[in-house]
A and B are shown apart, each in its own frame.
Chain A
Amino acid sequence: MTGHRAHAVRVGVARGWTEFRLGLKNPQDLGFYLFVAAGVLLYLFWNRDDEVAGTSLPVPSAALPGILAMLVAFGAVTGPAYALAVEREDGTLLRARAVPHGVTGYVAGQVLLQTMQVFPMFAVILGPSLLLFDGVAPRGAAGWLTVLWATALGLAAMMPVGIVIGSLASGPQRVGTWGLLPVLALAGVSGVLLPMDALWGWVRAVAQLFPVYWVGLGMRSAFLPDAAAVLEIGGSWRTWQAVCVPVAWAVAGMVVAPVVLRRAARRACGSRMAADRESAARSVR
């Protein structure tokens, strides 16, 4: 039986790759990448000569790590949440239920797809940034490696959250409320958009319970000079915690998300789908 499940995971990985390829050919998906990239680059370009208050760090260098962390958070939470909410209604999940170990394959496909989608997003933002701004590159091979692990840990920590939200949201429209707003709020208090100094102590304490802060910290440690660590809470990059907190989230998520998803999959069936058809027809794929 385990072998059969492993087979389904392989089929699902191929499925995710297919979805990724189809997305790259889809003008809507490409438009989204370019839209986000254009917004980010415009903001950085506008502030290219400014320095972060009280420091000698140029804004592009200081902001870029946080922006990447936020994109990881959005990709990991909103991506699967929205996909799941749509695909519960259009029958994709039900079709997965109809084949042996199909839901396992479906989840494997989603994980691969959402992971892969980070790459074009990073490419369209990092590529032009490296050309346009000075001193924004990660610091050597170790820096790039840190970008990789921070991204991987961020995805592992937050994708289960996205799957849970997508399983519980009553429709794609609700994902906007339950998927987007919490991430936005967390990003706001996690120092990825704004410095955390301005926040109350308890908000800073709460923010440190969530993975967004730690992914942002990891990213900053990859991009900024070591001297910038003094600006962080505790005056250090706290690498050990930056690994442990996301890992703890990932472990908890891998316990909770399958249970919640299985319940959502059990609820997805034809007659309910027919009832939801109208609301789904109004949502934009």
Chain B
Amino acid sequence: MRADTTVSVRDLYMRYGTDDVLRGVGFEVRRGEIVCLLGPNGAGKTTTVEILEGFRERSAGDVKVLGADPSTAGEEWRARIGVVLQSWRDHGRWTPRMLLRHLGRYYAPYADPGRGRARDVDELIGMVGLDGRADRPIRLLSGGQRRRLDVAAGIVGRPELLFLDEPTAGLDPLARREFHDLVRRLVAEEATTILLTTHDLDEAAGLADRILVLAGGRIVADGVADDLVRRTIGVALVRWSRGGEHFARTTPDAAAFVRGLFARHGEEITDLDVRRPGLEDAYLALVRQHEEGAV
């Protein structure tokens, strides 16, 4: 384990009744990384994150988060992590300002000499763009505003490590863009480590330093988006027509293949189309392969 390892998971198993949701999940997250946990619905993303947050007991495996086992770590540890979960509908009568101030007060005893623990509420409200809504009841917020409040609540204690479970579900494109900017700012300015789950591929590709794909109860891919595509599919699809007939071929080296094609047939080649698979193709291939392989 490296010195800057923030999250380390090995052989993580989770069983509900007779159903193994996680079967040997393993990965690491290093300090200051944005890591995206990608997977189909029901793959166990939320379960994994909840185990790391210390909200759920695992069935088996080694888990270290900020150097401690989340199932036994104390409140000092709790003060160092931030949590944004799905589906929070609480504190409807409170205003965002009241709630953030209240939550921030819990962190006061955990301040280091060089680092005040709780973030200034006004600054926080500005950061998540809730300025005009800060003093209205939370139940009147739109879905996107509510989500941004959840993020604000997650970072009020200046966490070293922030967990975000499907943070942009239900956000419109603009709100999503703003959210991504906020996440990048957190990483750039405070070296916050971020582990987020999503089933949005564009989000994963655009935001994450590294992508983990969870399927069939295991991490089936771990890498940057481009690597993932190359390793998973590793080929391009070339389609062309010759003499009224249509052809299609997959190849690891599209340029060489097309050069050969022209060398042999020259001007007989028409309708040439070379398609590189994207992250989506890689992801779908991975998930198909592992969901079918499982069970």
Contact = CB atoms under 8 A, between A and B. Distances in A.
B102 A8 contact: no
A262 interface: no
A235 to B, nearest CB: 50
Given A94-B55, A270-B165, A18 B88 contact: no
Main secondary structure of the interface of A (DSSP, over half): helix
Contact of A273 (B76, B87, B93): B87
A218 to B, nearest CB: 34
Max chain B C-beta neighbours (<10 A), residue from A18, A95, A102, A277: A95
B148 to A, nearest CB: 15
A97 interface: yes
Interface stretch (A63-71, A85-93, A145-153, A174-182): A85-93
Interface residues on B, range: 35 or more
Contacts of B136: none
A269 B88 CA distance: 11
Contacts of B110: 4, 100
Contacts of B109: 3-4, 7, 100
B50 to A, nearest CB: 5
Interface of B: 46-47, 50, 53, 55-57, 74-76, 78-79, 82-83, 85-94, 98, 102-103, 105-110, 153-154, 157, 165
Contacts of A91: 85, 87-90
A269 B75 contact: no
Interface of A: 1, 3-4, 7-8, 11, 14-15, 18-19, 22, 26, 87, 90-92, 94-95, 97-102, 105, 266, 269-271, 273-274, 277, 280, 285
Nearest to B85: A270
9 A-B pairs with the lowest CB-CB distances in the bound complex, closest first: A92-B90, A270-B85, A91-B88, A100-B75, A100-B79, A99-B106, A98-B83, A91-B90, A269-B55
Contact of B76 (A7, A18, A100, A105): A100
Nearest to B49: A270
Nearest to B103: A99
B64 to A, nearest CB: 19
A22 B94 contact: yes
